[in-house]
Amino acid sequence: MRKVLVIGYVWPEPRSSAAGSRMLELLGVFRSQGWQVTFASAAALSTHRADLAELEIEEVAVALNCDSFDAYVARLQPDLVLFDRFFTEEQFGWRVEQAWPAALRVLDTSDLHCLRDARHTLLKASQQACGSEAQRHQIGPVAATPQQLYAAMAASDMAQREVAAIYRCDLTLMISEFEMQLLQEQFGVPPSLLHDCALMLIPPTQDDLPFSKREHFLSIGNFRHAPNWDAVLWLKNALWPLVRARLPQAQLHVYGAYPPPKATALHNPKQGFHVLGWADDAHRVMAQARVCLAPLRFGAGIKGKLADAMACGTPSVTTAIGSEGMHGALPWPGHIVDTAEQFADAAVQLHEDTNAWSRARAHAADLLRSRFDRQRLGAELLARLERLLATREQHRQMNFVGAMLRHHQHKSTRYMSQWIAAKNAVSS
C-alpha cells in the first residue's frame, strides 16, 4: 500500500475556494486506490475545513522551522509527498529530501501564482496611468501575449521562486494548458516535469430548473482571493450600472467566503446589488440563478465557479482570463467578452432571451465531459505517478537544473530554517 503525505498551505475548504475543491479531489483520487493518506499543515484550523476523517485521512499539525517535522517524515517513510503550492515546497521540500529522499516529490501549483501576480501588476500599472478614479474603473481585463507576460514575469521574485520550485520537484501538477505552454515555451521547463491535471471537485449535474423558474444574476468567489475582489469592484463601479440601465429591476446576488467590511459596505438593495457573503450551499444558489457573472480582469488557473456554473446548467458571462484553460476549441456555455459594454450586452441577452440562454446551457455538458472527466484525469495522474515511482532515479538524473537548484537554493533556506529552530529552542 502506498503512503502519501500531503503538506497543505491551508486546510482544504472545498466550499470556500476552487483550490480547496481541487485538493479534496486529489485526496479522493489517492484514497480510491486504497493508499494511506496523511494531510499535514502548519496553518491554523479553519471553521469551513473539510472533514478529512470521513475519507479516512489522518490530520497532522506540523510546525514551521522545526526539526520535529524531519523526524516525523523519517518515521512515516512516504512513497509520495505532495506540496500544496510553491511556498510549501520552499518550507518543507529540503526537509523531505533530507529525511526521506526516496519519496517522490510532487508540487501542485493550484494555479501559477507568478502569472496571476504579473497580470495584477500590469492591471495596476494601467490604472495608475489613468487621470481619474472614474477612468480607473473603466480599465478592462489584462490583454498580454505570452511574450509580454514573460517580460513582466522573468525578473520578478515570485516567478523565480515558483519556477525554481517546479524544477526542484519530480513532477508539478498543472491545472491550465495555457500555463503549461507558458512554462515550456517561455521559461524552458521540460515537459517531463509537468502534468496536465485539471481535476476539480465539480458537483454532479443538478436537476436543471428551466429558464422560467430561475431568477437574478449571481457572482461568487472567495473574497480573500484578489482576482475575485477586483471582479466585485469592477462589477460595482462599471458593469452593474450598465446592466441596470438596460434592466432597471435586475438583481445581482454576490456570494463568497470571508467577506471583509469593505465588501459588505458595497451592499445596496436600491441598486439591486446584494452582497450576501457566505453561501451554505453554493451549488444550490448557482442552480437557482439565471446567469453567472465572472468579470475577472486578472488571475490564473481554471475557475471553479465557472465549472460549477456548467454543472448547474447556469450560463455564464466571463472574460478571456476567466475562461482561460477551460474550453479549448469547444464553444463556451455563455459569452466571453472583454469590454464593459460587451459584458453588459451579453449579460442582458442571457437574462432576457430564453433561446440564447438555452443554446448557451446546451454547451455545458459536452465541455464538462471533454475537459473535466474525473475518472480519466484521475487514472492518467495515477499512471504518471506510478511510472515516476518506478523510474525515479533515472528521472532525477535527467533534471540537472533541479539538482543544482536544490544544492544551492535550499542551502540558504535550510540554514535560515535551522537558525530559527535553534533560536526557538534556546528561547523556550
What residues does each domain of the chain span?
3-114+144-201+374-427, 211-371
Architecture of the domain delimited by 3-114+144-201+374-427: 3-Layer(aba) Sandwich (3.40)
Give the C-alpha separation, 181 to 179, whole Å. Answer: 5
List of E strands, 49-92:
58-61, 80-84
Give the C-alpha separation, 191 to 388, whole Å. Answer: 14
C-alpha cell at 184: 515550456
φ, ψ (nearest 5 deg) of residue 164? -60, -40
Same fold, 3-114+144-201+374-427 and 211-371: yes
Architecture of the domain delimited by 211-371: 3-Layer(aba) Sandwich (3.40)
Give the C-alpha separation, 232 to 215, whole Å. Answer: 20
Residues 166 and 193 sit within 8 Å (Cβ to Cβ): yes
Q: With the CA atoms of 21, 23, 29 and 34 taken in that order, what torsion angle do they form, in degrees rounded to the nearest 10?
A: -120
Residues 263 and 230 sit within 8 Å (Cβ to Cβ): no
C-alpha cell at 135: 477612468
Q: What share of the chain is helix, strand, coil (3-state, %, to 5)?
A: 55, 15, 35
Give the C-alpha separation, 195 to 193, whole Å. Answer: 7
Query: What does the pLDDT profile of the chain (428 residues) look like in tens digits?
Result: 999 999 999 999 988 888 888 999 999 999 999 999 999 999 998 888 899 999 999 999 999 989 999 999 999 999 999 999 999 999 999 999 999 999 999 999 989 999 999 999 999 999 999 988 888 888 999 999 999 999 999 999 999 999 999 999 999 999 999 999 999 999 999 999 999 998 887 777 666 899 999 999 999 999 999 999 999 999 999 999 999 999 999 999 999 999 999 999 999 999 999 999 999 899 999 999 999 999 999 999 999 999 999 999 999 999 999 999 999 999 999 999 999 999 999 999 999 999 999 999 999 989 999 999 999 999 999 999 999 999 999 999 999 989 888 876 556 666 667 767 776 776 66
What Rg do the C-alpha atoms of the chain give, in angstroms?
A: 22
Note the residue count of the chain: 428
Q: What is the pTM of this model?
A: 0.92
Give the C-alpha separation, 272 to 10, whole Å. Answer: 35
Give the C-alpha separation, 371 to 333, whole Å. Answer: 13
Give every CB contact of residue 285 below 8 A, 6+ residues apart in sequence: 218, 220, 253, 255, 279
Beta bridge partners of 335: 317
